[in-house]
Amino acid sequence: MLEGEWQRPVDVARLAGAVHMSTSHLQHLFKQYVRMSIRTFIFEKRLANAAQQIRATDERISSIGLAVGFPDPSNFNHAFKLRFGLSPRDYRRLCSGMPDSD
């Protein structure tokens, strides 16, 4: 369930209900075995998927951000830069071997 719905807003209570656990028990077990919270897992999954799409496609960066679950392009750019150390645009340039045009 989590693997197929990471683009949607996180609803931990719904996830817990789907596996017949309390929210707190699910969160505890998830953190114990995955070593990160459910929200952090989904956040990382979104950013990893965005990075893969930026490397592999010519899709607009704002469209990629939206597709992976970041409705606000500014939030997406900020989160991406914090995670990868580069803006999505600079990451694409680096991965494609394009020279900096600035």
pLDDT of residue 10: 74
Asked if residue 102 has pLDDT above 80, the reply is no
| 6 confidence band (pLDDT: 50, 70, 90) | low
On the 0-12 / 13-18 / 19+ scale of CB atoms within 10 A, 47 is buried
pLDDT of residue 70: 93
State the average pLDDT over residues 22-35.
94
Asked if residue 68 has pLDDT above 80, the reply is yes
What percent of the chain has a predicted confidence (pLDDT) above 90? 71
State the average pLDDT over residues 8-28.
88
Q: Which residues of 65-102 are buried (b: 16+ CB within 10 A; e: fewer)?
A: beebbbeebeebbebbeebbeeebeebbbeeeeeeeee
Tokens of residue 89, six digits: 């645009």
